[in-house]
Amino acid sequence: MDSTLEYRKIKPLIGTEILADKAGLLSGVHAGEIRRLLEETGVLVFPKIDFTDAEQIAFTTTLGKFAKELKGEEIYKVSLDKGQNATAEYLKGAFFWHIDGTMSPMPILASLLASKVRAPEGGDTDFCNTYAAYDALSDDDKTLLAGKRAVHTLASSQLEVDPQPSLAKYREWRAYGKNELPLVWTHRSGRRSLVIGNTAHHVVGMDPLESEELLIRLRDHATQPEFYYRHVWADGDAVMWDNTGTMHRATPYALDCGRMLHRTKLEGEEPFAA
């Protein structure tokens, strides 16, 4: 089988469209090049590849160690229908920029979403490259961020959805704990990326208002057009992103429209590190 991978860059700093056929992807012959492109451009699009669940699992496994869900499931149903997903309420936080796994010392490496039911309107997925965003910071900002750490909490992400929760609800969110992480992740490769998003509650040691301003400024910087890609879903599309160097969010859609994506994940290979 030809090991040459056909692909097309979507934007200079983010996004690559993979044009290989399904047989080539499932064979694993392209795995090394796919992983290289994933790290380089953050997001890979497999247009209308139409994976079955079994094929999605098999393809994900070619790229690294497969990560199961909390209850051992191999497929996670990304749906706001509580009949399909018991954690649907928490998924509303996904309408805001975030990185998966900020409550864990070892975040997942990557996720792969496959479109099953599209929203009639909206329901796109936005991505931004936090490697490229860090690289584009001024030297003064890089000096400012060096050594700084932020506290991440589930409560912070849920307050975006419900800014005035009951005390009981807030305590439920707080029970998930907190995690202190560097604002800049220095990877084993030597590259650096920003660790921000809606789980970031505050920067340690800063005045609360100055902390909030810094986090907003970094988010606005990271989501500028040159670092940003919006995927408008078509039937059968699959999209994979490097969770260690991108943020993502869903765009608004009707909560009862039946939108459904199936997700698989790769286990993390390195912890957050300053």
Beta-sheet strands, E only, within the chain? 7-9, 16-18, 43-46, 66-67, 76-78, 110-117, 125-129, 149-153, 178-182, 184-186, 192-194, 200-203, 228-231, 238-242, 246-250, 260-266
Q: Which is catalytic among the residues 100, 231, 249, 262?
A: 100
| Catalytic residue status for 98 | yes
Q: Which is catalytic among the residues 149, 187, 191, 263?
A: 263
| Catalytic residue status for 248 | yes
Q: Which is catalytic among the residues 201, 221, 248, 249?
A: 248
Contact 237, 48 (CB under 8 A): yes
Q: Which is catalytic among the residues 30, 35, 98, 221?
A: 98
| Catalytic residue status for 100 | yes
**Which alpha helices (H) appear in the chain, and where do they start and end?**
22-27, 31-41, 53-62, 88-91, 130-135, 139-145, 154-161, 167-174, 208-222
Please name the helix (run of DSSP H) or strand (run of DSSP E) that holds residue 146, with its range, or none: none
Catalytic residue set: 98, 100, 248, 263
